[in-house]
């Protein structure tokens, strides 16, 4: 199977890797040295377990960069929440959009590992 961008589904332009779970978040929460179940192998029914820091998928540099801009805006919001500081409504909306990006990326990642990409 030829690699496809986890975001747009096309062959990656200037290929790089998308870390589904941001490295800064993994380090902040202490999950950077852990393994996690990220889904199920649809043929065997076994859990798919990955080192959280190596859970990556191919992406276009532009796609990854575009989503990286959102992530850069979200990090200070997460830090505010961690410090029990109030967040504004627009910050909360951005945080929820970012959660959707992670959720969809994780779901597409499981499809990718099960060789059922964008069908």
- The answer to whether residues 71 and 22 touch, using CB atoms and an 8 Å cutoff, is yes
**67 closest CA partner among 3, 2, 1, 8:** 8
In tens digits, the chain (119 residues) has pLDDT values of 678 888 888 888 888 888 889 999 999 999 999 999 988 888 888 999 989 998 888 899 998 998 888 889 999 999 999 999 999 999 999 999 999 988 988 888 888 888 864 45
Q: How far apart are CA 50 and CA 72, in angstroms?
A: 24
Its pTM stands at 0.80
What's residue 82's pLDDT?
93
């Amino acid at each position: 199977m030829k690699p496809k961008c986890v975001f747009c589904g096309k062959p990656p332009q200037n290929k790089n890797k998308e870390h589904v779970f941001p490295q800064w978040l993994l380090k902040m929460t202490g999950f950077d040295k852990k393994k996690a179940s990220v889904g199920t192998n649809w043929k065997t029914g076994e859990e798919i377990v990955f080192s959280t820091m190596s859970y990556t998928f191919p992406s276009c540099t532009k796609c990854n960069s575009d989503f990286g801009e959102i992530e850069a805006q979200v990090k200070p919001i997460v830090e505010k929440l961690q410090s029990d500081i109030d967040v504004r409504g627009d910050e909360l909306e951005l945080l929820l959009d970012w959660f959707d990006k992670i959720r969809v990326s994780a779901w597409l990642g499981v499809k990718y590992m099960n060789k059922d990409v964008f069908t």
